[in-house]
Amino acid sequence: MSNQIFQTLKELPIPLCQSQCVLHKHEFLICGGWNTRDCFSYDILKNEYKFILKLVDNNNKSSNEITLLSFGGSSLTKRHTLMMKYVSVWSNISNKLNKSNSCNERIPFTDNDSHPIIIGRDKNHNYLGVRAVIGGSSNHLLFVTYYPNNISVFDLNTFQFIQQNTLQTSHYINYRCFVSNSKKGQKVIKTNQGKNKQNYQMLLFCVKTGLYDDDSNTFKFRQLPVYKDIGSFYAYAYAYINDVVLSFGGRQWIGYKFIYSKLVHKYSIQKKNAFH
């Protein structure tokens, strides 16, 4: 791809690796990374960064607020589940709400009785490279993919796992692209009885597509044709925009060493093809 396609933006405040990002209006929220808990807001219009703090359900009634959910860990690292009500650090509203609603502060994720909740199926779970998307009829389900080839469904209303499945693949599925394939992950299907059936389609680039039935609490999987580099590489950055998934770089282990990619791939979900 031509270098003219890309625009050089302001450098990051600190070096970052394996960071997770969330888009909120005209801001990119950069949430920590490898060996750092620092979180930043990048204003797309101003091309500037602001520090938020040291380290998703999104059903907030307030358009100025978004709830961020951070979870992960393994036997080698501390397991955590934290949440934060984020209000833009670029607005005047932020200072007022911070004092009254504890906004922009990371706090333990708790149930309705204020008991701390750790999202993880058991004490030995490995959430390094975990990926998750929100779905369900009320955006109440958290779909989690993690090492080595597991996918789970966590109910954010009951604070319980309600489904667990194993993908039949020869690749580990952590550090992969995991996105929802429709608005809010929802597809309404008309049944023979004339009822609307809620299905949620997700794509995991490793290389499967999954359909989750909210009514029967079941998964269905089918093979997804993708460009071979997307399936073999992992730990790449990716963005989902309308029908298109963009992936940047990545790495794979070949011949006792890591091979790093400089390629940018564009995958059309509707056309089911990719190119770079």
**For residue 131, how far is the Cα from the chain centroid?**
5
pLDDT at residue 93 above 70?
no
Give the closest residue to 129 by CA, choosing from 142, 143, 145, 117. Answer: 145
More confident residue, 250 or 92: 250
Give the closest residue to 245 by CA, choosing from 177, 174, 189. Answer: 177
Predicted structure pTM score: 0.73
Q: Among 101-105, 245-249, 270-274, which range has the highest average pLDDT?
A: 245-249
Taking the alpha carbons at both ends of the chain, their separation in whole angstroms is 7
Where do the CATH 2.40.10.480 domains begin and end in the chain? 131-224
Q: Which residues contact 108 (CB under 8 A, 6 or more apart)?
A: 81, 82, 83, 116, 117
Query: From CA 118, how far away is CA 131, in angstroms rounded?
Result: 16
Query: From CA 25, how far away is CA 219, in angstroms rounded?
Result: 32
Q: Which residues contact 48 (CB under 8 A, 6 or more apart)?
A: 10, 42
Give the closest residue to 243 by CA, choosing from 194, 199, 203, 191. Answer: 203
pLDDT at residue 65 above 70?
yes
CB 154 within 8 A of CB 160: yes
Query: From CA 155, how far away is CA 163, in angstroms rounded?
Result: 9
**Confidence band for 142, pLDDT divided at 50, 70 and 90:** very high
pLDDT for position 99: 54
Length of the chain: 276
- State the fold for domain 131-224: Thrombin, subunit H (2.40.10)
CB 40 within 8 A of CB 53: no
Q: pLDDT (tens digit, 9 = 90+) per residue, 209-238? A: 556 666 677 777 777 666 665 667 778 888
More confident residue, 269 or 43: 43
Query: From CA 169, how far away is CA 252, in angstroms rounded?
Result: 16
Q: pLDDT (tens digit, 9 = 90+) per residue, 95-130? A: 555 555 678 888 899 998 989 999 987 777 889 889
pLDDT at residue 189 above 50?
no
pLDDT for position 144: 92
Check residue 87 and report its DSSP letter.
Answer: E
pLDDT for position 237: 81
